[in-house]
Amino acid sequence: MSTAGKWIVGIAVAFAGMGFLVLAMSIFMLATAVTTTGSDTYEENFGGSSTNRVALIEIDSPIFNAEDVIRQLRKYRKRSSVKAIVLRLDSPGGGVVPSHEIYREVQRTRKFGKPVVVSMGSVAASGAYYIACAASYVVSNPGSITGSIGVISEFADYSDLMEKIGVETTTIKSGEYKDTGSPTRPMRPDEKLQLQKTIDDMYAQFVDVVARGRSLDRDSVRVLADGRIFTGTQAYRHGLVDTLGTLQTAITVAGTLGKIQGEPRIVREQEQPAALDFLLGTETRKNIQGIGTRLQNSSPLQYRLPY
């Protein structure tokens, strides 16, 4: 291919990528605007006694934004009719910061006097497990996938591809490490060392959270904190969860901790159908919102499964 042809291909690829990002962000903003406008975006499903309720909050996607979960935690811990909260985790983890922010809000909720019980779904790993360590009690299904205690950071290297199509970049920077992780060149050994130090610091924070939350010594946690995953049964044997059971088990435990007499009644928010749901379908709309959230809140350092 001629040099001119390579340039054309390179420019076409660049514009296609930019076009995709702009389209995804545009649809994301539209979806967000449509689904969050108005005071009736959510309704609550009440049943039974008005004074003996357990609130159910769900985290069922990668954790890239903490605002909605924090809002619900703050709302329910102020309600005298809500005696305890069940946090249903079905997530592979996500960003370091939102995971920590939810973790801290769970701690504040417990200090407020509201027990928080975690119920693990299919996956409650890495950042989701980080959050679980703040709970009053952790219930895992025997088949749940949890653990994955650690930090991951991934960087792409497009330099060979750019060389093949004849595209070059010029970087002007203020310091030696300002462009660390740039996809336009291979990473130097000293840059990898600097990033490893950052990863190690965040890893140490994760180990401390698990040790405190699960009343384990740090050395024992480090043996388990090599990124491996555990089934719920394995996690129970290692002391990473309190008991094995289902969501209903967690609700029962929450009722006991909240001193509720009889069977607890559940309150939770239910998302109302959005206009885009009728055009795209609910799952498609949520997937688009998820892409937009990742683009807006992406971080090179994450507590999450690598897939």
Q: What percent of the chain has pLDDT over 70?
A: 73
- pLDDT digits over 218-257, tens only? 999 999 999 999 999 999 999 999 999 999 999 999 999 9
- The per-residue b/e assignment along 257-279, b for 16 or more CB within 10 angstroms, e otherwise, is bbebeeebbbbbbeeeebebbee
What is residue 299's predicted lDDT score, i.e. its pLDDT?
63
Report the phi/psi class of residue 63: left, alpha or beta, with left for phi > 0 and alpha for psi in -120 to 50. beta
Domains and CATH numbers, the chain: 3-304 (3.90.226.10)
What percent of the chain shows pLDDT beyond 90? 58
Catalytic residue, candidates 164, 173, 178, 192: 178
Which residue is it, tokens 């001193």? 259
The pLDDT value given to residue 300: 63
Set 119, 126, 144, 182: catalytic member: 126
Active site residue 259: no
pLDDT tens digits for 121-174? Answer: 999 999 999 999 999 999 999 999 999 999 988 888 888 888 888 888 888 989
| Length of the chain (residues) | 307
Q: Is 126 a catalytic residue?
A: yes
Q: 56-71, pLDDT tens digit by residue?
A: 999 999 999 999 999 9
The DSSP symbol for 272 reads P
